[in-house]
Amino acid sequence: MDQLSKLRWQCRRGTKELDLLLQRYLATNYLTADANEKALFLELLRLEDDDLFAVLMGQLRLKYPQFIQFIQPLN
């Protein structure tokens, strides 16, 4: 399994909102992201689902405020 396939699997979190946000970022931005942004995304994926959801919804601030860049409205 290649790295992108592994990331797709890690983006499947079991909640529709998380799945949509993470998979959209992976499909539209990850491949063109710089190394720093990719590292931040990988760190974001290490969070527990509750914390990840809170971070992406702006309810929890972690030591990396750059995580906010991954939020895109679900229109």
The residue ranges of every structural domain in the chain are: 3-68
Domain formed by 3-68, architecture: Orthogonal Bundle (1.10)
Report how far residue 30's alpha carbon sits from residue 34's, in angstroms, rounded to the nearest whole number.
8
pLDDT of residue 69: 66
Nearest to 73 by CA among 20, 10, 27, 16: 20
What's the pLDDT tens digit per position in 19-38? 988 998 899 889 998 898 89
Q: Hey, what are 4's tokens?
A: 């992108």
pLDDT of residue 66: 66
